[in-house]
Structures are given as C-alpha cells and as structure tokens.
C-alpha cells in the first residue's frame, strides 16, 4: 500500500497563555507515575510475534 500525504502549514492564532500552560505541564509531569507496561516479546505467542514483525528474519 502506498499513502500520499499532503500537509499544509496551519497558522496558529496568538494564544498568550499557551506558554504558561506548557510550563505548568512540565512542572507537574513528575506526578505521572502510572505508565503503560513495556512490551515483552519473549512472553508473546509466535502468531503475535509474526504479526508484529519480530519473526520476519531481519534481525
């Protein structure tokens, strides 16, 4: 399959509080402790490994 994506720059309106919200989100980023568990390929079935590309022989 081939996908052709055409992008156009979108003009952002002037948002004076955007910088403040960004800084606040960085300041409170330490509170995000419930992250998703990492994928363990050894625990997957061979069917899922094949579908995800782990058994394609390239590495």
Model confidence pLDDT, tens digit, residues 3-59: 888 888 777 777 777 788 888 877 776 666 667 788 888 888 988 888 888 887 765
Cα→Cα distances 51→1, 41, 45, 55, Å: 17, 12, 10, 8
Q: What is the pLDDT of residue 30?
A: 66
* Contact between 49 and 41 (Cβ < 8 Å): yes
């Amino acid at each position: 399959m081939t996908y052709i994506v055409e992008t156009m720059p979108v003009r952002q309106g002037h948002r004076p509080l955007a910088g403040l919200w960004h800084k606040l989100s960085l300041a409170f980023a330490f509170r995000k402790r419930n992250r998703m568990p990492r994928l363990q390929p050894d625990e997957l079935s061979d069917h899922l490994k094949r579908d995800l590309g782990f058994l394609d022989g390239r590495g």
